[in-house]
Amino acid sequence: MWDIAFFASKIIGELLKYPAILSFFGAFIAGESIIVLLGILAGQRVMPFLTVFIFGVLGTCAADLCWFALGRKVPFYKMKKNRIIAGILRKSYSFTHILLKQSHERMLVMSKFAYGTRIATIIYLGHSRMRISKFITYNIILNIILVGFVLGLSWFTGRGIGDYDSVVDNLKIIGISFLVIIIAIIILERKVKKLVTALALKN
């Protein structure tokens, strides 16, 4: 057990030498999940908070722009042939269908705070020919708010963990904190999704 923890700590230690790269590509690939983990580490002063925030926002915006470009360039019938993309679209179809009644701007805002709908909505916005300048502007603002909220929450959690001499204990505490925050965010986003659905149906 100690060998595994020691090996893991070595790998993490090497990655933490490049906080900007780790924050950007982590957010690009894993989104808010990795931001939670990096926020906890920033709270323990292992990583600089501002670096995680700036490059976390940039990575999230870059990923969203790629999905937007995919929706702009690739027809829907071709997307359905890809299992991963087809699965993403199918899981969030019902909620995205409700969002179609809203303006492009409202769709983007709602999808950011409703669990499991962001990618499908962004692909649709690209397909619907939303102006890219408008998408980038709204997306940057929304990602600053979203990343700031998630990072702030995880930073405060990291500050409350404290310092542990044992690598194993430290990894356990960080892992548990990570899971708790992720579960809390998912529950919150699902509540928001239900609220947004109810409001959209009324309109």
Answer yes or no: are the C-beta atoms of 89 and 75 closer than 8 Å: no
pLDDT bin (cut points 50, 70, 90) of residue 32 is: confident
Answer yes or no: are the C-beta atoms of 153 and 181 closer than 8 Å: yes
Tell me the average pLDDT across 87-93. Answer: 54
For residue 122, pLDDT beyond 70: yes
Task: Write out pLDDT tens, residues 137-185.
Answer: 989 998 998 899 889 888 888 787 655 444 445 556 666 666 666 666 6
Pairwise CA distance, residues 178 & 171, whole Å? 10
pTM attached to this predicted model: 0.70
Tell me the average pLDDT across 121-146. Answer: 85
Instruction: Give the CA dihedral 125, 38, 175, 88, nearest 10 degrees.
Output: 10
197: left (phi over 0), alpha (psi -120 to 50) or beta: alpha
Residue of 2 and 112 predicted with greater confidence: 112
Answer yes or no: are the C-beta atoms of 2 and 168 closer than 8 Å: yes
Q: Single out the residue of 55, 47, 53, 67 nearest to residue 25, CA to CA.
A: 55
What's 15-39 look like in SS3? HCCCHHHHHHHHHHHHCHHHHHHHH
Q: What percentage of the chain reaches a pLDDT higher than 90?
A: 16
Q: What is the pLDDT of residue 106?
A: 66
**Lowest mean pLDDT, pick from 37-51, 60-74, 85-99:** 85-99
Instruction: Give the CA dihedral 38, 42, 46, 51, nearest 10 degrees.
Output: 80
For residue 40, pLDDT beyond 90: no
